[in-house]
Amino acid sequence: MFSVSAKEEDVQSFHGHFSLRYLLLAFFSLSLPLSASAATNVLYLDADGVSQIAPTATDLTGAITTLNAGWYVTNCSVTNPIAYSNTITISGDVHLILADGCALTVSTGAAGNAGIRVAGANSLTVYAQSTGAGMGSLAATGRNGGAGIGGRTPGETGGTVTINGGTVTASGNSGLSGSTAGAGIGGGGAGDGIAQGGAGGTVTINGGTVNCIGDSANGFNGAGAGIGGGGGSSGRSGGAGGTITINGGAVNCIGGNSSTGFAGAGIGGGGSGGGSNAYYGVAGTILIYGESTKVTAQAGTTSATGVSVAAQDIGAGGGRLAGAAGNVFVALLPANLQNGSGSIGNAVTFSASPPSPGTVTAELPAPFSTTMDLLTGLTTPRMLSVITTLSSDSVTFELADYPPAPKTRAELMDPNVSVYFFLRGVAQSVPALTPAMLVLLALALGFAGVRRRS
C-alpha cells in the first residue's frame, strides 16, 4: 500500500491549498473591474496662477462616473476628446486638472440631473495646466431642471465649485414642457409642483474663461441664473444666488428666459414661477473685483405681464414680488463690466492729490468683512464701475499715506460720486507756465498797476 510520511503530507497539503487560493484569486481578479490608471507628477496652475505639482492624479478617460475625494486629470488628445452621456457625481473634495489640449464634455442622459452634480458639502476645484488657446476645456449640461454644474431637481442646492483655470462652459437645461430650469453653475430647478429653486451654493472663480448659461423655462416656471439660483416652479420663488466670488478670469453669464414665469439673473438669483405670490430669487452674497477681471453678465427676459420685478444682470432674479436685496459689491474697470449692450454699474472716479503710484484698497463691512485691492496707480484720475446693495455700513477706501475715504452705498450709487484722496501739508506741484499764460499774467499785473495809480 502506498503511503507518505507526515512531512510529505504537509507538502502535498500546502501545494493543494496554494493551488486553490491561486485559482480563487485569479477568478476574482478577472471578475473585478480594472482600476483606473494614475498619472504622476502632474503639472497644474493654482488659484494664483503659480505652477504646482500633484504627486498623483487618477486618469479620467470617460469610464468613471463618481469621483471620490482626490485628484484627477483628463487624459485625451485634441482629436480624441472625452465625452460622457451620464452625470458625473462629485463625492467629497475633488480636484480636477484639465490637461492641455484635452476637451471633456458631459451631457447627462438622466432627466432632472446635473451635468456634473456637486451638491451639499461636496466640492469640485478645476485647474488648468496653462493659459491661452491651448488650455484644457470642460463643458457640462444638465437636463430637465438640472444645473450644468451643481444641483439637480427638485431644487437641490449647489455645493462648492472653484475654478482656477481652463475653459469651462456650464449650461442648465429645462427641455420638457412645464419644466423649471437649473442654473449654469449653482442650484437645480424646482421641478414641477415643488416649492422654490435650489440655492447657488458657493462659487469662486479665480481664473480661466468661464461661460455660464441659465437655461430658459417653459410655461409658468422660472428660469435659472447664469451663476446662482435655479428657477422656481409656478407661484414659487427662484433660488437664492448663494455665495459668489469672482476675482480673476473672463466670465460670461446669461440668465435664462421664461415665457410666463420670470427670468434668471446673469449672476445671482433664479427667476420665480408665474403667480401672485412669487418672490424673486435673492441675489445672495456677491463679490466681484480685480483690475484684470472681466465680467459680462446679462439677465434673461420674460413675457409675463402685470406688476413684476425684472431680473438683474448682477443681483436678484425676476419675480412678482421683491424680497431681500442680498449683499452685492462689484468694482471693475468700466470696460471690464458689461451686459452685452454696454457698461453697467455706477461710474466712480478715484483721484489723489498729490498723485500716487500706490494701490487703492476697499475695506468692506459684514458679511464680507474683507479688504481687497481695486486698482494700482492714481497718477491721473481713474474710474471704476461699481454696483452695491450694502446699506448698513460704509465702504472704506484706502491709499497708503493718505487719510481713508469712507463712502456709503447711497454715495457710491450717486451719479456724481468721486473718491478723493488728499494729503494735507504737502506742497503741491506748480504746472509750468506756457507763453500764452505768461502773456496773460503780464497783462493782469499791468492792469493791477494801472488801477493802483488811478
Does 410 or 215 have the greater pLDDT score? 410
pLDDT band at 426 (very low <50, low <70, confident <90, very high): low
Range scoring the smallest mean pLDDT among 134-148, 221-235, 304-318, 326-340 = 304-318
Distance CA 35, CA 33 (A): 6
Report the pLDDT value the prediction gives residue 280, as an integer from 0 to 100. Answer: 84
Q: Is residue 354 within a helix (H) or strand (E), and if so which, with residue range?
A: none
**How far is C-alpha 275 from the chain's CA centre?**
30
List 34's β-bridge partners, or say none: none
Cell of 325: 436685496
pTM of the model: 0.85
CA dihedral in degrees (443, 449, 452, 454; nearest 10)?
Answer: -80
Using DSSP bridges, classify how beta strands 382-388 and 346-353 pair: parallel, antiparallel or unpaired. antiparallel
DSSP label of 414:
S
Report the pLDDT value the prediction gives residue 335, as an integer from 0 to 100. Answer: 96
Nearest alpha-carbon partner for 393 in 361, 349, 373, 363: 363
Arithmetic mean of pLDDT, 311-339: 91
Phi and psi at residue 114, to the nearest 5°: -80, 160
pLDDT tens profile 151-210: 998 999 999 999 999 999 999 875 554 567 899 999 999 876 666 899 999 999 999 999
pLDDT tens profile 333-345: 999 999 988 889 9
| Cα angle: 433, vertex 435, 436; to 5 degrees | 95
Cell numbers 495809480: residue: 453
| 238, 282 Cβ separation under 8 angstroms | no
| 282, 242 Cβ separation under 8 angstroms | no
Whole-number average pLDDT of the chain: 85
Range scoring the smallest mean pLDDT among 63-67, 78-82, 355-359, 368-372 = 78-82
pLDDT tens profile 269-313: 999 888 766 778 899 999 999 999 999 999 999 887 765 788 999
pLDDT band at 21 (very low <50, low <70, confident <90, very high): very low
Does 280 or 227 have the greater pLDDT score? 227
Cell numbers 437636463: residue: 143
Q: How many helices (H) and strands (E) does the chain have?
A: 3, 31
Report the pLDDT value the prediction gives residue 234, as an integer from 0 to 100. Answer: 78
**Identity of the residue numbered 403:** P
Distance CA 350, CA 379 (A): 10
Query: In this model, does residue 357 exceed pLDDT 90?
Result: yes
pLDDT band at 417 (very low <50, low <70, confident <90, very high): very high
Sequential DSSP letters for 370-392: EEEEEEEEESS-EEEEEEE---S
Distance CA 105, CA 126 (A): 14
Distance CA 396, CA 58 (A): 46
